[in-house]
Structure 1
Amino acid sequence: MTRSSDTLSATELGVPVFAARPVALVGVVVGAVLTALSGRYGYHRDELYFLVAGRHLDWGYVDQPPLTPFIARLSTTIFGDTVMGLRVLSTLSTVATVIVVALIAREFGSDRRGQVLAAVCAAVSGFVLGVGHMVSTATYDLLAWMLIGLLAVRLLRTRDGRWWLALGLTAGIALENKYLVVLPIGALLLSLLIVGPRSVLRSWWLLAGMAVAGLIALPNVLWQFQHDWPQLTVAGGISEDDGTENRIMFVPLQLVQLSPFLVPVWIAGFRRIWRSLPWARSVALAYPVLCVVVLAVGGKSYYALPLLLVLVAAGAEPTLRWVDRHRRQAAAGLILTAVTSAVFTLPVLPASAADAVIPVNKEQGEQIGWPEFAAAVAGAWEQIPASERSTATIFTGNYGEAGALVRYGPSHGLPMPYSAHMSFWQWDRPPDTNTGPVLLVEIERTPIFESHFRDCTQVGTVDSIVSNDEDGTALVLCSGPAEPWSMVWPKIRRFY
């Protein structure tokens, strides 16, 4: 099969043989790197939250569906309640993502070398490594998006409407992880209406796929309905707080977050689809359509990044022609991409040197210093007379701080913390019998917030070894709540 026959092979003669062994080898290397580095820093603030959420399994949470907390609990149950144990399933998900990108390249007609190049490009991209290193909703969302991309390309290539059923199944499971999956599907449907082939929309299989997705997502939808749609409140708050910054940084981050060195590859993929694979034009158009939607709602830049990996898969074949003429430059480019991606997204630097990359990737800093944070809180707690501690309360400003104290507090003799942030507000509140001192953990002192407590004085500060959100956190000791906790609790709830 020659490269000049890409369109014919993809639309009429089927697809090339899957390069299973070399692609699997790329996946194994990625898995080995992520495993080797998985315990180097520590838990991310979101992971600390997921660990607690996993102890309160439900069909929904204030800020997310249930799948990621369930996976966190499953991973720690099977592989151990450690940082490395928590991240095993995340690593396996990332390996699967790399393999699926190669399968997408195959659907576009790429031969063995093109499939391997697509897998390598995915493996060295900063976004894939970054979300693969930790447990996050984005980790499993990325795999879901890639599977949806694979199924969508196969649907368009074969015109077999039964693939809508598989799309619906995948989308339904993805909706139990994150609602963002409606964005690529919506962008694809709109693109199909614009450039076709519209025939795939005239199928009862489409309705069947939608029914399957809705049925799987129904338990979480019902949970959200029963709790007054808190996730919409969270999303609205994020858009209001960060929307302007997200719009300003959208284009630069689209170029940087996947990797600047991969920009020519996904541009080549877009051009290849548009010029040579007319049956797949809706897949290419879905990316700019999605970008417009994300910009309009003020969403985060990474919301559109997974579709760039689909374009990278399409661009692997034409990129090979350049690689054949510039082998040394190509090798140097891939090595440089891998190194820069690793430095900015993985814990390869000493923790004390992480400030060098935090301005680009703040998530690095959110994995450092939680045991020291708990020790600082313990130091402030010890200032409460022992006779008053039985009625005293630790109250944290956000779920990351609360999760850290759940994890590390017991070793310092601390009681379980409380927080009004996200689902922590629902899980528990202090009893009204806790009339004693209240230790507030505040990233920034807030007079309006402190007005719910009596006689508040700062007694300590968290000094982190890196410039993360917790650096400089104020430890404020109050003599007690201004009202019974049952009256205070509804007034201090935080959705974002």
Structure 2
Amino acid sequence: MRLWLAALLALTALRLVLAAILPLAPDEAYYWLWSRSLQPGYLDHPPMVALFIRAGTLIAGETPLGVRLLGPLSLALGSVLLARATDILFPGRGAGPWAAALLNATLLAGVGAVAMTPDTSLLFFWTVAIWALARLQRSGEGRWWLAVGAAAGLALLSKYTALLLGLGILAWLLLHAQGRRWLTRWEPWAGGTIALALFAPVLAWNAAHGWASFAKQGGRAGGGDAADALRFLGELLGGQVGLATPLVFLLCVAGAAAAARHAWRMRDAEALLIAALTLPGAALFLWQATGSRVQGNWPAILYPAAAIGAAALLTAPGWRRLRVPALLLGFAMTGFVYLQATAAPLALARRHDPTLARLGGWPAFVVAAEESARREEAGFVAAEEYGLAAILAFSLPPGRMVVAMDPRWAYFRLAPPPIGASGLLIRSERRGEGPPLWPGAEALGGAEGRLVRSRGGIEAEAYRLFRVRTAPGQPPAAVLPRP
């Protein structure tokens, strides 16, 4: 027990160091802007990621570490709770540390602990809910339903996929006689009321904004032909093998299957809980992949329960012998990603290196952008892409106004730029050769009209520069907060 806790502390310390030294990715900077404009909802997600970032920056300042601080800490606490939940549900098997280790060995957790996204808080509160359900199942005390409801409500404040947690709990209650008896008592209904009350501000925000966030996320599902379905399914399964790491993925799939088998054959309420928290969600993601692309991080919520199944229910010697190789391979893959993100020992092109695409070259790029703005005597720097605008807002020197032009900024309480001001628009070449959104944008010619973001001489992205001026009647634009 002491050994695995010491390993967890060391791993958490490493993740905190990486969180401090790596530049923010565009999405992280975008969520930092949320923390500077707190509100009950946003176009993309509920507000919990903004609250996590605000708490972290109050402690560690508006720095990369401040933005990410609660990521490594919440995963560490969640790992302890996951181990405890495993030992409560399946006592005497010594499976708790193994379940926590398997989760931490995934790239989903290892990289997710360093990057601050809505999945960070979602995974934490999902794990808290599992721990509360374990206490409920073992003790039979109805008061634990209140903790389950609170955890579920906070998960809903993190990301809408937390609805799958409620679906899994409902399936568990309906499929087991003991669970159906709970439905005749007040405690589960009180827990559900707590969850709904916590989520109510998001509902109110959506109602006041034409249900914009629900429409955006619900619109991700779509139709496709057979070829698209096969491609999307292949991407989903291949992505999970890579992001969970191959052997951990195999163990988690087998663990979820073992939970379903135990629940069916032995009427085991504990195994049924594990199956209910994995299989319905897995089925939903597989179904969605027949019509639209499923992002690789979405199924991350299934792995805490699946790791419990793998650690506690795969007791045959062959499965147990796979545990150590699975951990070694998982941590080796995660370690390589950490190394590539910090030192880039392999000269990989952007299409083969997500760390280059998301993290590479930002500090030098921001310096070059500021030099261009000074040369053009620009009153502000502007961007159309929300992530690029957020990076500029977080990183440019103090006093530099940053303006963003995109319809999403209309959902923020931000001031428009002053009329008649001149500025410098930075636009990625990946947006194509079409005209900028900014009316009347004038392209800068020659070498001074182009910036390249690179790492170690390898191009991550190229950008075009335009002179722009604010005018009445232009598309929505907003002045972004600065540190």
* Equivalent runs, 1:76-475 vs 2, <5 Å: 76-111=57-92, 113-190=94-171, 192-194=173-175, 197-236=179-218, 238-239=220-221, 246-276=232-262, 278-279=268-269, 280-297=271-288, 298=292, 299-319=294-314, 322=317, 326=321, 331-344=324-337, 346-347=338-339, 350-353=342-345, 356=348, 359=351, 362=354, 365-382=357-374, 384=376, 386=377, 389-390=378-379, 393-410=380-397, 414-420=400-406, 422-423=408-409, 426-428=412-414, 430-431=416-417, 433-434=419-420, 436=422, 439-445=425-431, 450=436, 452-454=438-440, 456-459=442-445, 460-466=449-455, 471-475=460-464
Contact 1:60 1:224 (C-alpha < 8 Å) held by counterparts: yes
- What amino acid maps onto 1:249 in structure 2? E
156-165 vs 167-176, which deviates more?
156-165
| Paired letter, 1:410 | P
The residue type equivalent to 2:248 in the other structure is L
User: Given the superposition, is the C-alpha separation of residues 449 and 288 from structure 1 closer, same or farther in structure 2, using an over 3 Å criterion?
Assistant: farther
Is the CA contact 2:82–2:99 (under 8 Å) kept in the aligned structure 1? yes
Cα pair distance change 1:37/1:435, threshold 3 Å: closer
Structure 2: distance between partners of 1:120 and 1:262: 10
> Which of residues 25, 29, 33 in structure 1 aligns to 2:6?
25
Q: Distance in 2 between matches of 1:313 and 1:468?
A: 44
Residue identity matched to 1:45: P
**2:53 paired with 1:58:** no
- C-alpha spacing 1:118/1:295, structure 2 compared with 1 (3 Å): closer
The answer as to whether partners of 2:112 and 2:120 remain within 8 angstroms in 1 is yes
Assess if the C-alpha contact under 8 Å between 1:429 and 1:485 holds in 2.
no
- Decide whether aligned partners of structure 1 residues 341 and 58 sit closer, same or farther in structure 2, where only a CA change above 3 A counts: same
- Note closer, same or farther for the CA distance 1:103–1:467 as it changes in structure 2 (3 Å cut): farther
The residue identity in structure 2 corresponding to 1:133 is V
Compared CA separation, residues 246 and 229, structure 1 to 2 (3 A) = farther
TM-score by length of 1: 0.81
Shift in Å, 1:94: 0.9
Which range moves more in the overlay, 291-300 or 211-220?
Answer: 291-300
Helix, strand or coil: the match of 1:465?
strand
Task: Label 1:40 to 1:421 Cα distance change in 2 as closer, same or farther (>3 A).
Answer: farther
Is this contact kept in 2: 1:169–1:209, CA < 8 A?
A: yes
CA distance 1:249–1:121, change in 2 (3 Å): same
Distance 1:339 1:189 in 2: 38
- Correspondence for 1:476 among 447, 453, 465: 465
SS in 2 for 1:291: helix
Amino acid at match of 2:143: R
Q: 1:179 Cα deviation (Å)? A: 1.9
Distance in 1 (alpha carbons) for counterparts of 2:145 and 2:457? 44
Distance apart, 1:34 and its partner CA = 0.8
CA distance in 2, matches of 1:39, 1:143: 21
Q: 1:303 is matched by which residue type in structure 2?
A: W
User: Residues of 2 paired with 1:251 and 1:111: CA distance?
Assistant: 34
Q: Which amino acid aligns with 1:178?
A: K
| Whole-angstrom distance in 2 between the partners of 1:314 and 1:66 | 31
Letter in 2 for 1:85: G
Task: Assess, with a 3 A threshold, how the Cα gap between structure 1 residues 341 and 320 changes in structure 2: closer, same or farther.
Answer: farther
| In structure 2, distance between residues paired with 1:91 and 1:357 | 29
- SS in structure 2 at match of 1:439: strand
How many residues were matched structurally?
A: 461
- 1:379 Cα deviation after fit: 4.2
Aligned position for 1:8 = none
Q: Distance in 2 between matches of 1:426 and 1:360?
A: 35
Instruction: Using the TM superposition, give the Cα deviation of residue 97 of structure 1 relative to its aligned residue in structure 2, in angstroms.
Output: 1.8
| Letter of the structure 2 residue corresponding to residue 477 of structure 1 | F
CA deviation string 1:301-341 (max 9, x = no partner): 43223222212112213556538985xx7544432321112
Q: Within 1, Cα distance between the matches of 2:431 and 2:18?
A: 36
- Structure 2 counterpart of 1:405, which letter? L
- The alignment partner of 1:394 has SS state of strand
What's the offset of the Cα at 1:76? 1.6
CA RMSD in angstroms comes to 3.5
State the alpha-carbon separation in 1 of the partners of residues 328 and 137 from structure 2.
Answer: 35
Tell me how far apart the structure 1 counterparts of residues 408 and 83 of structure 2 sit (CA, whole Å). Answer: 38
Aligned to 2:481: none
Q: Which deviates more from structure 2 when the two are superposed, residues 347-356 or residues 244-253? A: 347-356
- CA drift of 1:351 comes to 4.1
Q: 1:354 to 1:80 in 2, by over 3 A?
A: farther
1:100 is displaced (CA, Å) by 1.9
Q: Deviations over 1:181-205 (max 9, x none)?
A: 1122213323543566433333322
Residues in 2 aligned to 1:262 and 1:319: alpha-carbon distance in whole angstroms: 13
Give the structure 2 partner of residue 15 of structure 1.
Answer: none
- CA 1:470–1:195 in structure 2 vs 1: closer, same or farther (change >3 Å)? farther
Using the alignment, how far apart are the partners of 1:163 and 1:292 within structure 2?
28
| Cα distance in structure 1, aligned partners of 2:320 and 2:215 | 53
Decide whether the 8 Å contact of 1:22 with 1:116 is kept in 2: no
Cα distance, 1:289 vs structure 2:
1.6
The answer for unaligned runs of 5 or more in structure 1 is 1-18, 491-496
From the superposition, tell whether residues 342 and 485 of structure 1 become closer, same or farther in structure 2 (CA, over 3 Å): farther
Report deviation, 1:153: 3.9
